[in-house]
Amino acid sequence: MKFIKIALSIATLSALLGCQQNENTPQTDKTKSTTTQSTLSNTPAQNSDPNHQPDIAKALQDNLNKSGIDVHVTSVVPTQMPQMYWATIDGASPVFVDKTGSYIIDGTIVELGGERPVDIAVKIRSTAAKTALTNVDDSQMIIFPAKGETKAVIYAFTDPTCGYCQKLHEEISDINAGGIEVRYLAWPRGDKPLPLAEAIWCSPDRKDALTRAKKGESINAPACDNPVKTHVALGYSLGVTGTPAIFAENGVQLGGYLPSNELIKSAIANKN
């Protein structure tokens, strides 16, 4: 019952925030996932980041609890906009929050006055994503290495039942031949594809299992300790709302499906 309660709470928060992929981004399948870690608590996390604002985190956590939203605030840091903060929440996408922790801001905040308008969330998201993805152990991902020189690495949150994920994987040989290493993380878009994702990650040959699953084949494997739900929670924390969700080495989210030639160029351009 606790899992169901948390899933409903996350769905409630997502609804409040209008949590959807931007229609102008590359293509993704946008089915909401209710799969997440069941270890969330009602107190904000301890955080070693010197920019972390514990008082605002506690206020935000208290207000979420009062509103019956059972999610866990992990970090609140300042943005370049005065009195505006960036909150990271387990089981939901990051959001802007005011200094009282009473208001969640849904949407884009743009800084003006420079050569071009700047979405202030981009740098925050990419920095967090770069750190988080770099910290994922190689053994927890399904890696398709580059052929020849590795020119760049991409991370792709994937659901084997997602049409655009299948289309991306059909081009994996071309992507690898272009010098791009592809590191897959699991992001089943709900409870129904969860067992398939877990079976893939529990298979003795994960690469083969993933490839066969994306062709529509059934995958059977004994249950094992696997990182699938951890990957889902990580995806939420990085703002993933659909699959494929592709990140470059520098943490920039390249978007959803891109043709292999465009993906190769974008991955190399965002290597550092």
The residues annotated as belonging to the active site are 159, 162, 165, 189
How many CA atoms within 13 Å lie on the side-chain side of 77?
A: 20
Asked if residue 244 has a cis previous peptide bond (ω within 30° of 0), the answer is yes
Asked if residues 238 and 24 have their Cβ atoms less than 8 Å apart, the reply is no
Q: Return d(Cα 153, Cα 268) in angstroms, integer.
A: 8
- Relative to beta strand 180-186, strand 152-158 is parallel
CA torsion through residues 37, 39, 45, 50, sign:
negative
Q: Which stretches does DSSP call E strand in the chain?
A: 72-78, 84-90, 95-98, 104-105, 110-111, 118-119, 142-144, 152-158, 180-186, 245-248, 253-255
| Structure token digits, residue 94 | 């990051």
